[in-house]
């Protein structure tokens, strides 16, 4: 990841957690800790972390790194997927999980 990419990600972090933007020291200090990661993976991890309903505080650099390196990281589940429903505590709409009928041609 380039330093300019990291500045864009720091801006995204501020948009996702507007009450707790990254301080200037963290922006400079976190870049070397995340520089070896792909920008798209970090963006995906930030979005996944922002969607966690139990999250009360913005993530630390170690949480972001762990989310990127975790299998399946950076993949935001669709709202009708079983994983999203389980994480959010919501139930899927009844028609979301119907098996398609075979056509009687």
66 in a domain, yes or no?
A: yes
92 in a domain, yes or no?
A: no
pLDDT for residue 95: 45
98 in a domain, yes or no?
A: no
Nearest Cα neighbor of 30 from 2, 50, 1, 6 is: 6
The parent domain of residue 72 ranges over 3-84
Number of domains in the chain: 1
pLDDT for residue 4: 87
pLDDT digits (tens, 9 = 90+) for 84-98: 555 555 554 544 444
pLDDT digits (tens, 9 = 90+) for 20-68: 888 888 888 989 998 898 888 899 899 989 998 888 889 999 999 998 8
Mean pLDDT of the chain: 76
Q: How many angstroms from the chain centroid is the CA of residue 66?
A: 11
103 in a domain, yes or no?
A: no
Token pair 């972001």 is found at: 64
pLDDT for residue 54: 86
Judge whether residue 15 has pLDDT over 60. yes
Q: Are 47 and 76 in contact (CB under 8 A)?
A: yes
């Amino acid at each position: 990841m380039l330093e300019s990419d990291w500045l864009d990600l720091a801006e995204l972090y501020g948009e996702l957690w507007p009450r707790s933007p990254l301080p200037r020291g963290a922006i400079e200090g976190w870049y070397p800790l995340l520089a070896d990661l792909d920008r798209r993976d970090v963006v995906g991890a930030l979005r996944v972390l922002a969607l966690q309903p139990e999250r009360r505080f913005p993530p630390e650099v170690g949480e972001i790194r762990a989310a990127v390196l975790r299998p399946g990281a950076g993949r935001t589940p669709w709202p009708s997927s079983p994983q999203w429903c389980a994480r959010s505590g919501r139930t899927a709409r009844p028609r979301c999980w119907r098996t398609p009928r075979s056509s009687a041609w």
